[in-house]
Structure 1
Amino acid sequence: MTRPLLRAATVTLAVGATALALTGCASGASSADSSEPLVIGTTDAIVSLDPAGAWDRGSFTPQNQIYQHLLSYEPGNTTPVPEAAESCDFDDATTYSCTVKKGLKFSNGHALTASDVVFSFERILKINDPSGPAPLLSGIDSIEQKGDLGVVFHLKTANDQTFPYVLSSMGGPIVDEQVFPADKLLADAKVIGSGPYAISDYSKKGLLSLTANTHYDGTAPKTKNVVLKAYADSSNLKLDIQKEGIDIAYRSLTSTDVADLEKDSKLQVVSGPGGSVRFLVFNKDAQPGADDAQKLAIRQAVATLIDRDDIAKNVFKGTYAPAYSLVLDGQNGATKTFADLYGAKPSVERATQILADAGVSTPVTLPIQYTSDHYGPDSSSEYATIKSQLEESGLFTVDLQSTEWTSYVKQRADYPAYQLGFFPDYPDPDNFLRSGYSSTGGSVVNGLTSPEIDAAIEKEATASDPAERTKDIEAVQTLVAKSAGIIPLLQGQETVVAVKGVTGLKDTLDATYKFRFAALARG
């Protein structure tokens, strides 16, 4: 999408049916009468329910039900609008002010004020947990409170066109300063928010039980009680949805499982924009190669040999498509720079020449690590295919290893080459570009950031003219593709399997990428 001009980034509480769909008009509205919980199964692991301790999809899904943000999205609309805020606006190029809505309460009855908002942002930055979202807030210079309801953000970068999106991201949940410690994480079972649901019970390796928050100021959830059930693997998830032991299977069934379940008359398969991208990361300090030139050649040779079409067709059965950039097809400024530089089809001849020119002896021994439980059950087949593609060239010997996500996320900086994937924090190209390549706002550890890349990212993020910003986004993609520190592989859609009669899935599978439990109900 094209970013509006600076002043167009103003967001004010609208009046009308669409605004009410997000923000509601009165507290105490009643949700569905049935106390029978809606059970949602997932293989995604929850790293932390404390917003300061997680920056991953498995944690984002439940956090999105528990907390409010200053800004969020109406279903189907990717422009940020007020949620806990009454209004937000740029005062000048580096000052962004929000007014908190009057009368908001956390699920424990405590008032939600500007003091809680300032505390929430400063806390994430102070704790700076290695698994947390602090990099998303790297553009904030300081935050100040103005009275009971006013919050002023002083930004490091003038004309930051992404900041309203950041407020709606995993860096923006508002927590109760009377409950959360300022300098450490809170136990998951004790977290408190002001969103549509509150925790009624949580077992770390079992079930997360949520119940409608009676203090929520928005539209009441359609289902009072929801249970998020964790699965170690997709086979049991598939079995339970087939037996109707759960209502919804949400992330992640294998592509083969989805194709099989589509034939079941008791079930429905619903798909929507996924926004995800899968990629291979090289760690310059740990990867093979005698010097920087050889390391670059090895990365470029791998980029030349991977057959994305083969993986998309034979591993993911068409539920993913080839990706040649971290900016996804259809987004503003999307290009296919990896296809342009390294070819859309694999070439052993080109890869051989790249390695020979750098004096690299072959076959190169390349350790590749992937996570066995975080990016879906097809990961093992995906990386087995990549191993075969590289080894069949005769240029590589791949040492393939897997690790569970809870350990993987802490150890990935030590891996020579490793699997990662992004699910967007907000629906703008800057999100993936910054997360992948920035030295200050990035989440990828690979030793391949540079002042030149940082400057290019800041340029696209602050361009107020839409046409110029598109060109700047294209330029960043060309720059980072040359170093091949991140090799884009696949981009996908979101697919959910549910028992017939479950409603609301179409209303929450949209380009905002926020799965809303409150929209779901049994028919």
Structure 2
Amino acid sequence: MGKRKIVAAVSMLLAIGMGLSGCAHASTDQTSASDANTLKIGTTDVVSALDPAGASDTGSVMLMTQIYGQLMNQKPGSSDPEPELAESGEFVNPTTYRVKLRKGLKFANGNPINAEAVKFSLDRQAGINDPNGPQLMKMALKSTKIVDDLTVDCELNDANDQTFPGILTANDAAIVDPKVFGADKITSIDDIIKGRGFSGPYELVSYSKGVAAKLKANANYSGVIDKVKTDTVMVNYYSSEDNLKLNIQQHNIDVAWNTLSAKDIETLGKDSSLKVHSAPGGSIRYLTFNFNTMPYGAQSDEPDAAKALAVRQAIADLVDRQAIADRVYKGTYVPLYSNVPDGITGATQPFKELYGDGNGGPDAAKAKKRLSDAGVKTPVNLNIQYNTDHYGASSADEYALIKEQLESSGLFKVTIQSTEWSSYAKKYSTGEFPIFQLGGSGEFSDGDDFLSIFYGKGNFLQNGYENEDVYRLLAAEKTEADKTKRNEILAQVQEQVAKDISNLDLLQGQQIAVAGTNVQGVDNTLDGSFKFRLGVLSK
């Protein structure tokens, strides 16, 4: 999950009105959907940069998905990596992953996509280390070596790293033109547009910050999208959810993508001229326990690991995810029963089977028995922190409902408190929060991306959770080449961490797009890759 997009659960909104112009990179204007030959996309997402080494936010990645190709990618409808710009990728020894390019590939400007371009792209991605950029390549890649004009050897930090093909599908591995991009610094949007070093299905013709981006089909592209369905696409940027809703209602745009409120989606779903498309997404929301400061934690007044586990498990027995999804999020989130989201190969549902009624529902009697068997006196006082300026205003309703669910059992007395994000991350990482809300999304579609960052040694949670068996299993799955065996190990990891409950997984965000009924192809791109591909859309 990179550095890892734990701060990307809610899109930031750019402070410009519909009638105000931002800092212009070109003369692009917002357009209506009346032009039958141009597809119009609307979003509230913000673009921070269009250099793959300089951005990992949702808005930037969505646009970069259209203009850059990867060595490996996922075909629409799949989450599994396969060669795109590459002809093949394979381990030639435990620490060397060899990539062989397809012949005759070119950037939009006509420059060759060759071994030099691949080495340049991967090396700068790992070396620039921009604080806003993705970190996967830096973590995985030790060095690169050109074998011949179409072949590059990638020397990896970890032997037999089975996550590397997945990393090659991520924004970290976008292939850029050495004659356009700087080797050791971020390249500006103006220079990117001027240089036309695009390797993806579209090239960016113009971009006006906070207003619009214009894309046209890249005639030199050859990849997982056989041929783009629409040659010209406009992406219009709106300053608020209300503006986005209004423009899809009035058919000024063909598709609304990120972000509409649950209430707005419910309203738009009743419009016969529109259709709400949804599928499991890559964003997750969860409750994290600090093993030191939670009730009966290692640094509490009454440390007792067995009682602390019973408290965590009883909470898991009582939480009603479906009620939260329905009442608070109106179906824009769905129940999540593992740290690995549904739709990713290897995902299981251990929380559904281990807790509550065994089918996803709550069970107060089971929770009561757990606490009684462990000798825990009830009601147990719980202090739970949540955040609204980062995870959205609906978090207040979400945690009010969780409080209600826990207290209705008579087993817990819950205090909930909201803290501003400016101090939230520091406080949870230093142990000030005994139980707290977190959320985020992955960077590539692999179960490891949703497990190692949470449960590996030195994980970002810093919540005192340690399990040597989990460390061993994570190391094993990462190097297991047999896909069936690897999935079995991933399932073991998910089972074990669900028994320990460092995180109580709650909700999985839906990928949601609202489109006119005349728009085709939306469902084809709402898959486990979690990439919104404009090239498969048409009207």
TM-score class, shorter-chain normalisation, is 0.7 to 0.9
Distance in 2, Cα, partners of 1:123 & 1:412: 33
Matched, 1:263 2:267: no
Which of 185, 201, 214 is matched with 1:196 structurally? Answer: 201
Q: For residue 291 of structure 1, what is the aligned residue in structure 2? A: 299
Given candidates 428, 438, 460, the residue that maps to 1:419 is: 438
Question: Could you tell me how far 1:317 is from its partner in structure 2?
Answer: 3.0
1:277 and 2:293 correspond: no
1:432 pairs with one of 450, 464, 470: 450
Q: What SS does the aligned partner of 1:141 have?
A: strand
Q: Does 1:325 align with 2:333?
A: no
Q: Which residue of 2 aligns with 1:368?
A: 386
SS in 2 for 1:291: coil
Q: CA deviation at 1:63?
A: 1.4
Q: Which residue of 2 aligns with 1:29?
A: none
Q: 2 CA distance for matches of 1:251 and 1:177?
A: 32
Distance in structure 2 (CA, Å) of the matches to 1:138 and 1:302? 35
Aligned to 1:9: none
Mapped contact 2:106–2:220 kept (Cα < 8 A) = yes
User: Secondary structure of the residue that 2:117 maps to in structure 1?
Assistant: helix
Compare 203-212 and 89-98 and name the one that shifted more: 203-212
**C-alpha separation in 2, matches of 1:355 and 1:399:** 30
Aligned counterparts, 1:168-317, within 5 A? 168-191=169-192, 192-217=197-222, 219-282=226-289, 291=299, 293=303, 302-317=315-330
Identify the match of residue 480 of structure 1 among 489, 497, 510: 497
Indicate the RMSD between aligned Cα atoms, in angstroms.
3.8
Give the match for residue 382 of structure 1.
398
Partner of 2:28: none
Residue deviations 1:345-403 (CA, integer Å, cap 9, x gap): 1649649949996899963433322454xx67755543443355456665221112455
Aligned CA distance change for structure 1 residues 258 and 174 (closer, same or farther; 3 Å): same
Q: Give the conservation status (yes or no) of the 8 Å contact 1:371–1:419.
A: no
* Greater Cα offset, 61-70 or 75-84: 75-84
1:15 corresponds in structure 2 to none
Mapped to 2, the partners of 1:283 and 1:45 lie a distance apart of: 33
> Quick check: 1:248–1:498 contact (8 Å CA) kept in 2?
yes
Residues in 2 aligned to 1:50 and 1:401: alpha-carbon distance in whole angstroms: 33
Higher alpha-carbon deviation: 113-122 or 45-54 = 45-54
Q: 359-368 vs 255-264, which deviates more?
A: 359-368
- Residue pair 1:425, 1:431 contacting (<8 A) in 2 also: yes
1:510 match: 527
Q: CA deviation at 1:276?
A: 4.1
Contact 1:57–1:423, Cα closer than 8 Å, also in 2: no
Q: TM-score, normalised by structure 2?
A: 0.76
Rounded to whole Å, the distance in 2 between the matches of 1:186 and 1:361 is 57
Partner of 1:454: 471
**Paired residues of 1:331 and 1:429 also in contact (CA < 8 A):** yes
> What is the aligned partner in structure 1 of residue 89 from structure 2?
88
Partner of 2:244, secondary structure, is helix
State whether residues 279 and 421 of structure 1, in contact with CA within 8 Å, keep that contact through their aligned partners in structure 2: no
CA distance in 2, matches of 1:330, 1:500: 25
Residues 206 and 215 in structure 2, CA contact (< 8 A), matched pair in contact too: yes
d(CA) in 1 for partners of 2:424 and 2:110? 38
Shift of 1:236: 2.5
1:446-497 CA-to-partner distances (Å, cap 9, x unmatched) read 5646665333212123234455333311221133234433221123442321
Aligned with 1:87: secondary structure?
Answer: strand
Give the percent of matched residue pairs that are identical in Structure 1 and Structure 2.
40
What's the CA shift for 1:105?
Answer: 2.9
Question: Residue type of the partner of 1:499?
Answer: G
Counterpart contact for 1:135–1:443, Cα < 8 Å? no
Q: Distance in 2 between matches of 1:360 and 1:237?
A: 48
**SS of the counterpart of 1:236?**
helix
Contact persistence 1:271–1:496 (CA under 8 A):
yes
Cα distance in 2, alignment partners of residues 446 and 391 from structure 1: 25
Q: Distance in 2 between matches of 1:113 and 1:436?
A: 37
Shift of 1:330: 6.5
Structure 1 length as normaliser, TM-score?
0.78
Q: Distance in 2 between matches of 1:204 and 1:381?
A: 34
* 8 A Cα contact 1:125 1:134, kept in partner: yes
**In structure 1, what is the equivalent of residue 16 of structure 2?**
none
Report what 1:337 is aligned to: 350
